[in-house]
Amino acid sequence: MDGEAVTVNMGAIEVVTDGRNLKTILGSCVGVIFRDKDRQVSGLAHIMLPERRRSDGVEGKYADTAIPALLSRLEASGCRIGALEALLIGGAQMFASENTTIGTIGDQNVDAVRRILDQLKIPIIYEDTGGRAGRTVVFESSSGKVTVKTLQVADANVPPD
């Protein structure tokens, strides 16, 4: 892989313009990667929840605030919003006890991001979402290659003594 990697933590947003890679680890969170391949500008938001419900200043935490914030940073770095392509990764069901009648938080995150991208008319060119396992992600901004590794799911049912 070319370039140094920038790690994007939970609730964070990062933009690269110099060929560095973006990397993160996702569970029920969703990673949204935007790329303007002609201008070599890429960014990643590590989204934890579908929407802001109270006055929390961490804009990267929520789909409804992280995506506009990331787009603003990308545009300030020289990308053309109309040329962006999106990659959508994560949204796993990490906890067996989640209420499935309203969907898991992972499903809610994926749905919120899809809805926002659809409204903005930004095409999703790659998607790896759902399941029960976390993922590690490395996005090579210079080539557009994404490497997603699914983490092993351990069976938590330990037999009694």
Per the residue annotation, which of 16, 29, 30, 137 is the catalytic one? 29
State CA 38 to chain mean position distance. Answer: 21
Q: What residues form DSSP beta bridges with 5?
A: 21
| Ranges of H-type helices in 62-149 | 63-76, 105-120
Q: Active-site residue 79, yes or no? A: no
Among residues 79, 83, 90, 10, which one has the least CA distance to residue 43? 79
| Ranges of H-type helices in the chain | 63-76, 105-120
What residues act catalytically? 29
